[in-house]
Amino acid sequence: AQKVTQAQTEISVVEKEDVTLDCVYETRDTTYYLFWYKQPPSGELVFLIRRNSFDEQNEISGRYSWNFQKSTSSFNFTITASQVVDSAVYFCALSEAQRGGNQFYFGTGTSLTVIP
């Protein structure tokens, strides 16, 4: 079974629009960690955020914000006032403490295109 689901395969927005990338996860662990990574066209994976299962506080970092809701097993990512440089593939990932917290399960990714 897929542990991390990113239902949106591709999204296109016009520059300065807000966009939300959805992530739904599945785990039986009570302690787990959620992540978002950005993969620009150059291919490297850039870490954006880490959240543990006991911290449901939403987080804002500049134009980025994350909404973690355990009740719906979701960890959504919003980009405000999108820019062309935000164009990339974004991956949501899960690691489980039961498995040592080192192994990551990645979603299938959402390809975001920001049109100037």
Partner 1 sequence: SAVISQKPSRDICQRGTSLTIQCQVDSQVTMMFWYRQQPGQSLTLIATANQGSEATYESGFVIDKFPISRPNLTFSTLTVSNMSPEDSSIYLCSVAKLNTEAFFGQGTRLTVV
- Is the Cβ of residue 27 or residue 95 nearer to partner 1 in the bound state? 95
What single-letter amino acid sits at 80?
T
Does the footprint of partner 1 cover residue 27 (CB under 8 A)? Answer: no
Residue 33 binds partner 1, judged by CB under 8 A: yes
Residue 16 C-beta: closest distance to partner 1, Å: 28
Judge contact between 11 and 89, C-beta under 8 A. no
How near is the Cβ of 112 to partner 1 at its closest, in Å? Answer: 14
**Which residues within the stretch 65-104 sit at the binding site for partner 1 (CB under 8 A)?**
91, 93, 95, 97, 100-104
How many of the chain's residues bind partner 1 (CB under 8 A)? Answer: 22
- The answer to whether 24 contacts partner 1 (rule: CB under 8 A) is no
String of DSSP letters for 4-72: EE----EEEEETT--EEE--EE--S-SSEEEEEEEE-TT---EEEEEEETT----EEETTEEEEEEGGG
Distances (CA, A) of 84 to 29, 56, 113: 38, 30, 8
Q: Are 62 and 69 in contact (CB under 8 A)?
A: no
Candidates 19, 25, 35, 68; binder of partner 1 (CB under 8 A) is 35
Q: Does 41 bind partner 1 (CB under 8 A)?
A: no
What residues make contact with partner 1 under the rule CB under 8 A? 33, 35, 43-45, 47, 50, 52, 91, 93, 95, 97, 100-109
